[in-house]
Structure 1
Amino acid sequence: MIQLPLWGGDEDQTALQQLRDAELQIEINPFNPRAYYDLAEAYYVLGNFPHAEKVLKGLLTLEPNNQNARFLLSDTLEAQGNIDAAIESLDEIVQKSGNLHTKQKAYKEKGLILEKQGKYLDAIDCFTNAIELSKPDKSLAGLYSERALCLYRLGDVRTALDDVDLALKLDPKHGFIHNVFALCLAAYGYKEQVLDEFDKAIQLGDRETRVHAFFNRGCFYHSVLKDPESAAADFCTATRLKKDPTVCYHLALSRHASGNLNGAVEAYTEAIDLDPENARLYLLRADTLCKFGNWKEARKDLGKIIRDFDDIGDISSVVDALTLYGSHYAEQKKWEWALAFTMHGQGVHLNFMIPGRQWHA
C-alpha cells in the first residue's frame, strides 16, 4: 500500500487541513492534478473511500498515466472490499508503465493483497516478479521476507528459511524479517531463539511490524509456552498500536485462560465494536458472562444471535446459542427449560439439513 504520512494523534485534523488546502487550490486552478491527488489522499486518510475513489477516477481522466493515482486508487478499492478492481488497477500499472521501479512496486502491492486473501501461490509469483525487477540492494530484503512469509503459510518452512537468509544478508536490521524468522523457528520447535527474534522484530520494526510481532509472540506464549498472562500483555500492546478484532479476540481468550473473566468480556466487547457481524464473538462473550453469573447480560447476546443471525442464515450460530441456553438451564437444574432449548436447537439444525425446509428459530 502507499505509505501515507504518519499523522500521529492529530491525523484527522491534519487530513482535514490537507483537504481544505486542496479544495482551495482546485478553486484557483480546476486543472491542478496535484491538488486532486492531495484531496483524494485526505479523503482516504479520513476513511471516506467512495469520495477518494471518485476524485481519483476524475484525476485519471486528466492524467491517464498518473501511476501514483492508480496506486492510491488500488488502496481505496481494497479498503472498500473491491479486491478484483484493486488488483486490476495494479495490473494496468504493470501493463502501461515503462518504469521498472514502478512495475516492481505494483507487483509487490498485488502480492500483498493476494497474501491477505490467502492466495499464497499467486502472491509468491508476484513477489518473485518484483524480485526479478529489483536491484540487489536493501530494498530486496522486504520482498524476500514477504515471499518467505507466504512460503511459511504454505508449510514450506525450509524454502522460507532460504529467503529469510537472503533477506538478512541484505538488511539484518529489517524488523519484518526477524518476525518471519521467529515464525519459522517456532515451526521447528525452538523456544528461546523464537523469543529473541520477536524481540528484534519489535525493536527494529515499524509500527505495522511491531503489531504483527506482538500478536505472533502472544500466540506463541499462549499456545506453545502455555503462558496466557504474558500472551495477554502482548495482545494488549498490539491493540494499543492498532485496533483489530482478531487481536482483541485473542486478548479475550488469553484473559479468560488466566482467569481474568471481566477483562475477557471487555476484550470481546471491543472486538464486537470492531466486527459487529461476527456471531462467534457474541457467543463467546455470553459464555464468559455466564461463567461469573451475569445471565441477564448473557441473554442479550444470545437473543441477538437467535434474532439477527437467523435472519441472515447463520444457522450454526443459532444452534450454538440455543445449546448454551440449554446448558445454562441444566446447571440451574431447570430440566424442562434445558430440554426445550436443547431440543429446539437440534430441531433448527435438523430442519435446516432437510432439502426444501426452512424453519427459523
Structure 2
Amino acid sequence: MHVGHLTELLADSAEGRLPPGRMVTSDEGNGNVQPLWLGAGPATIELWAGMLAEHARSGLWPLLLDSLDPSDGEYRPWGSGEVFPEQMSSPASHDSAGLLARWWDTYTAVDEDDMLDAARRLAVTAPFGQTWPGLAPSRETTTNPDQLAAEFAQAFLADCPQTRLGLVAAASGAEALTAAGWAGPCNYDHDTAKFSAVVRDWEHRFGARVVAVGFSTLHLSVASPPVDEHEALLVAAEHFAFCPDNIWQGSRPYTLAAYAERITGAHHWEFGSPYPEESAVADHIGPAQRTGARGGGELEQCVGHGQVDGQGPAQFRRGPPCGVPAVRAVAEEHPPARVLTGVPPVLPGGDRDERCVRPGR
C-alpha cells in the first residue's frame, strides 16, 4: 500500500475524528510503503466500532493492534515498521480448502524422528488420524457478525487497555492482514495471503471477523461457531491445519477431540501464544523438521484457547495476557531446535531472515 491511497481514504473518512496517530512506514522499500495508520495512544471502543460500521463506505478496516511488549516504546511490530505488504501475494490467488488439506497432510505425517510413536501421534488427531476430513459446513445465524465483533472488541480492550487502533485499506479483516503486511505466521510461511485466504473463508462460513492482531497473535469473533460434536471436530481439524499448536501446545489434554470440546459454542477463536510455559511441549509438538514445514523456519507462533464462557455471545473470556512474546523454550530438557524464540528462519545460502526476529530484535 503506497502513501497516496490510504491517506486519501483517511482524509475522506476520518473527518477530524481520529486521535493523534501516524502512518507506519514499512521496513521494506524506500519509505514509500505505508500500509497502515497507527494511533498514538490507547484505542476506544467507540471509535473502533464506529470505524467498523463505516467500513463499507470508507474502505478502511479497523484493527485493534497489540504489541510484543506494551512497555516498549517501539510498539512492535507496528510502530517499528516490521510489516511487509510488498512481499505478500493476493488472498484471492489461494484456495482455502486446498491449503488446509495440504497443511493437514504435513502436520499429521509420522516419521522416524518424531518424539511420539505412530500410535500416539495419530491419537492426537483422532478420530481422523492422518485422513483429512474436509471442510466443516457453513452455518447460518441470526447473530449480527459486526455487532458480535464490537462486543468482543469491547471485552478485548477491557483486558488489554493499552491496545492501539490501526486502520488499513482493505475489503475485509482477512484481507487487512495481508494489506497491513502482518508477518505473524512468517515462521510457517512468509506469505500471509495464504492465511488471509483461510480467514476470509471463515468470514463467509462462520461469520468470523478479524478484531485484534498482535506480533504473532490473531483474535477473531465468530458469529456461528460449531454447536455439536461433529461440527466441532471438523472445525478443530481446520484449526489444527491452520495452526497446529492450538492442539500441540494448547490446554490439556493435547488432542483434537479435547480442543473440539473447547471451541463448541465459542464465539472467539484465538491463534497465538498465551501461556507457553504451561504447555507440555516435548510430548505433543511435531518433530523439528515439521515445525518449519510451511516456510522453512523454526516453530515460533500459534497457540490459543480463548473462548466464550458459554453464557452468550456478549460474555467473552480471554486467557492470555497482552503483549506475551511468542513460543519460547520452556524447559532445559526440551531441545532448543524444537521450540525457539528470537531466531528467524534460515534462508537459502544460510542467512537468517531478519523479518522474523522475535524478542531481542
Common fold: TM-score over 0.5? no
| Greater Cα radius of gyration, structure 1 or 2 | 1
Of structures 1 and 2, the one with the larger relative CO (CA 8 A, separation 6+) is 2
TM-score (norm 1): 0.25
